A = this chain, B = another copy of it.
């Protein structure tokens, strides 16, 4: 469904490999009380969000991030100029990530690709897949602080296909849990990038 997306390497053997074990991934799910019910509501969310991902990513990137200089600079050249191809390519991956969050099983393949996405926000891998010259590293704190915006803006899109308010709440809760599980996975990518810097 997605092998025409530049730099989208889901399942590739060449990508990063999370140092987390499957058991540690299960611990993250248990810690977040992420259950089979959440999996079902994410599937529902995936069906709702199909066809809306371009609009969602446009909202995040062009209507919000573009107006927040300390976030916008990470999609720009080092002198602040625009990089439309970089933005277009990473937007396509951002869109696919929404669907992967909802529709993929959270297994070893998914874990490794979330780790790879984390690495692509840090010095070892940022810019490389798109061959661009932009900031070399996005501070993890800036990624974390944007999660509430992702969650807040996601809710209206979840309500657009006629589901009950209760269903929308459940889809939104499952989505929000997944965001923190993914951020938890990224801690390993950021730690790995720190070690690379020190080494």
- Chain A binding surface, main DSSP class: helix
Say whether B141 contacts A184, CB under 8 Å.
Answer: yes
Mark A residues whose CB is within 8 Å of B: 20, 24, 27-34, 64, 68, 70-71, 139-142, 144-149, 151-152, 173, 176-177, 180-181, 183-185, 187-188, 190-191, 194, 198
Cα separation A141 to B20 with both chains bound (whole Å):
10
Does the CB pair A144–B27 fall under 8 Å? no
Task: Tell me the complex Cα distance, A145–B70, Å.
Answer: 26
Contact (Cβ within 8 A) A152 B28: no
A64 to B32 alpha-carbon distance, docked (Å)? 11
A42 CB to closest chain B CB (Å) equals 13
Interface pairs (8), CB distance under 8 Å: A28-B145, A31-B145, A32-B149, A33-B149, A33-B152, A141-B184, A141-B187, A145-B184
